[in-house]
Copies of this chain bind each other. A is one copy, B any other.
């Protein structure tokens, strides 16, 4: 529950004070937010359940739900007897027509989706992206086209906000891409560009795909209900996201959770970041393929082959996974000591190869008996490749959920 971060904390910076004083209106905003967030995250609930969960009085819940229904976020279905005594309570559910636009910019693909409240995907499109990337303009034209197709398919949806996942570093205070080496982008105002590409003029939030994949996993995936989670995903690069006590680690310039360049092996290979033995060089796709005797730059085809070989019991493939698993374990140890998480979720390459890395990882953990590692479980990603896109949707929803009436329709 509850990582609808207070928008105040994240947005303001510098001189402007916190404006920490609250008045009656923010009280109602908070209660509307609580109820809508609860239904969005946990699914339909009866009005009495809402009351129990929030601690609000019956009459208050009625008023709040009624308002959220009027503006198109919730709907109430007729009460159905459930076998228990007492008058049945109407069931409250989302109106999935209230939706957001989600974008994903990967190295080799682009994706757009319209996602309704409650997390239902109303429409979705994915397109390949040329490996050389093509021009930046071409990318935005493609995104705009995909967005139009998605909106046509989900033509009854009302778009409230938008979120963008990108394989690169984002200063999310400004929405600017600080650096996306694998895309060849730098200093791009991605939010604005995406907005004009698809003709959406509402709020567009931009984040790193690692954080967004974790967002998705923590709302509807492998880390559901967890407040302390580390997410690691290896493709060409190694990305990640961190949820600590229900808050996403963002950092001063929004560059937190960049675990790809953790130094794990001072004697390792030189990374293009200038250092030796980065996490990325030890456990990334290229190194893994090279260890298995496959083409390091082979991309999806080669990784599929690698997984197939491991599944067939090929020793070299299994050993390659095991070696990566041990380095992965070392990185996990570092992260576990700093965050003391409940779970580590593995995505990308190590989701497909989860069976072949989980034991080496657990061996590394077992070698070190330290309280921060107690009860730590390593699990594979639940949502897989869909995670960043779904996370972008959840990011967009965060703004809506934090202040529903700010996005209310007039009808």
Does A1 sit at the interface, judged by CB under 8 A? yes
Which residue from B261, B275, B369 sits with its C-beta under 8 Å from A274?
A: B369
Does A285 sit at the interface, judged by CB under 8 A? no
13 A-B residue pairings within 8 Å (CB atoms): A2-B20, A17-B54, A21-B31, A169-B372, A228-B251, A228-B252, A228-B256, A244-B251, A255-B340, A262-B337, A263-B330, A266-B330, A274-B370
When chains A and B are docked, how far (Å) is the Cα of A274 from the Cα of B372?
Answer: 14
- For A34, list chain B residues within 8 Å (CB): 18, 20-21
Beta-carbon contact of B263 and A334 below 8 Å: yes
When chains A and B are docked, how far (Å) is the Cα of A10 from the Cα of B245?
Answer: 8
Identify the closest chain B residue to A228 (Cβ): B252
When all copies of this chain in the complex are counted, the total is 2
Beta-carbon contact of A265 and B266 below 8 Å: yes
When chains A and B are docked, how far (Å) is the Cα of A53 from the Cα of B274?
Answer: 45
Does A367 sit at the interface, judged by CB under 8 A? yes
- For A245, list chain B residues within 8 Å (CB): 9-10, 247, 249-251
Does A227 sit at the interface, judged by CB under 8 A? yes
Q: Give the interface of A toward B (CB within 8 A).
A: 1-2, 9-10, 17-24, 27, 30-31, 34, 37-38, 52-56, 60, 169, 178-179, 227-228, 242, 244-247, 249-267, 273-275, 330, 333-335, 337-342, 367-372, 374-375
Q: Is the interface of A mostly helix, strand, loop or mixed?
A: loop
By Cβ-Cβ distance, the 6 closest A-B pairs, closest first, are: A251-B340, A21-B54, A21-B56, A20-B34, A255-B340, A19-B55
- For A370, list chain B residues within 8 Å (CB): 258, 261, 273-274
When chains A and B are docked, how far (Å) is the Cα of A274 from the Cα of B37?
Answer: 44
Beta-carbon contact of A179 and B371 below 8 Å: yes
When chains A and B are docked, how far (Å) is the Cα of A273 from the Cα of B52?
Answer: 45
When chains A and B are docked, how far (Å) is the Cα of A317 from the Cα of B264?
Answer: 28
Which of A10, A30, A37, A258 has the largest count of B CB atoms less than 10 A from its CB? Answer: A258
Query: With A227-B252, A274-B367, A340-B252 as given contacts, are A23 and B18 in contact (CB-CB < 8 Å)?
Result: no
Beta-carbon contact of B338 and A273 below 8 Å: no
Identify the closest chain B residue to A64 (Cβ): B21
When chains A and B are docked, how far (Å) is the Cα of A51 from the Cα of B273?
Answer: 48
When chains A and B are docked, how far (Å) is the Cα of A56 from the Cα of B371?
Answer: 45
Identify the closest chain B residue to A1 (Cβ): B18
- For A266, list chain B residues within 8 Å (CB): 264-267, 330
Query: With A245-B250, A263-B334, A334-B262 as given contacts, are A255 and B372 in contact (CB-CB < 8 Å)?
Result: yes
Which residue from B20, B31, B178, B252 sits with its C-beta under 8 Å from A342?
A: B252
Which of A10, A19, A20, A261 has the largest count of B CB atoms less than 10 A from its CB? Answer: A20
Which residue from B27, B250, B339, B368 sits with its C-beta under 8 Å from A249?
A: B339
CB distance from A54 to the nearest CB of B (A): 4
CB distance from A148 to the nearest CB of B (A): 33
Identify the closest chain B residue to A60 (Cβ): B21
Beta-carbon contact of A242 and B338 below 8 Å: yes
- For A52, list chain B residues within 8 Å (CB): 17
CB distance from A284 to the nearest CB of B (A): 15
- For A260, list chain B residues within 8 Å (CB): 337
- For A20, list chain B residues within 8 Å (CB): 2, 30, 34, 37-38, 53-55
Beta-carbon contact of A27 and B22 below 8 Å: yes
